Amino acid sequence: MTNKATSALLALLVVCSSAALLMSAPKPLASGPEYAGDELKLPENYRQWVYLTTGFDMSYSADAMQMDHHMFDNVFVNPESYKAFLETGTWPDKTTLVLEVRKAEGKGSINQRGNFQGTDVIGLEVHVKDEVRFPGKWAFFPFDGAKTAKMIPTNMECYTCHAEHGAVDNTFVQFYPTLLPIAKSKGTLSAGYKKETAAAQSPKPRTRTTP
């Protein structure tokens, strides 16, 4: 076989190998919001996104309804938005945050005290930033086992609560321990959150107990 023929054969093998690798490579995971008409599609691979934090029995109301069980809530965000937050200290358009709620279990296997998360998801809500689609930029979608969900109406309390108390861009970054320091360093904390923090840290006035 001549040198030219050998070179041509090697080139053909390289092309075929590259094509085979491209065909066998896993497809990139969908990240960010996808819609079906006026409904949001459930981001089913959200547990492969970036995990942000877990809360335990959290409530934003002092007189919250007493429940007969404990709960964990896990928060995930799509990777592209997480990367952008690390660089800028705020959320880009198409950010998608998932709140997953699981019942806390206390008895199981060798556990003697404390709680661990149950296998069943008892609540799932998605918070989406889509500046063109939503007048207020952000929208909430509650999923109840279906593959799609309608947007929660904007007159619901969750919108005003996030707008007034969210540490960064209508989101509760104050509860995301790895992102709060970044927001502080980038100077992206909201005025409302900084005011709340200052009020909580200011010493309370002493009350006279004697005449």
pLDDT for 63 equals 62
Q: Which of 15-19, 118-122, 162-166, 198-202 has the lowest mean pLDDT?
A: 15-19
Residues 6+ apart with CB under 8 A from 6: none
Residues 6+ apart with CB under 8 A from 152: 139, 140, 141, 142, 158, 159
Confidence of residue 68 (pLDDT cuts 50, 70, 90): low
Residue type, 8: A
The residue to which tokens 């109406």 are assigned: 153
Half-sphere exposure of 19 (CA within 13 A, CB side): 6
Residue 155: give its domain's CATH number. Answer: 3.50.70.20
Tell me whether residue 129 is in a domain: yes
pLDDT for 58 equals 83
Q: Are 32 and 78 in contact (CB under 8 A)?
A: yes
Q: What percent of the chain has pLDDT over 70?
A: 78
Query: Could you read off the pLDDT of 86-98 as tens digits, one per residue?
Result: 999 999 999 999 9
Q: CA-to-CA distance for 145 and 142, rounded, in angstroms?
A: 9
Tell me whether residue 72 is in a domain: yes
DSSP state of 66: P
Tell me whether residue 153 is in a domain: yes
Tell me whether residue 73 is in a domain: yes
Domain that holds residue 180: 42-186
Q: Are 39 and 149 in contact (CB under 8 A)?
A: yes
pLDDT for 201 equals 84
Alpha helices in the chain, H assignment, sequence order: 3-24, 79-88, 157-165, 180-186, 191-201
Tell me whether residue 195 is in a domain: no
The answer to whether residue 74 scores a pLDDT higher than 90 is yes
Tell me whether residue 10 is in a domain: no
Query: Could you read off the pLDDT of 135-146 as tens digits, one per residue?
Result: 999 999 999 999
What is the average pLDDT value for the chain, to the nearest integer? 85
Q: At 97, phi and psi to the nearest 5?
A: -110, 135
Tell me whether residue 19 is in a domain: no
Q: Are 174 and 193 in contact (CB under 8 A)?
A: yes
The answer to whether residue 76 scores a pLDDT higher than 70 is yes
Q: Which of 19-28, 35-44, 131-140, 200-209 has the lowest mean pLDDT?
A: 19-28
Alpha helices in 58-140, H assignment, sequence order: 79-88
Q: What is the pTM of this model?
A: 0.79
Tell me whether residue 201 is in a domain: no
Segment 9-20 shows an average pLDDT of 44
pLDDT for 13 equals 44
The total of structural domains in the chain comes to: 1
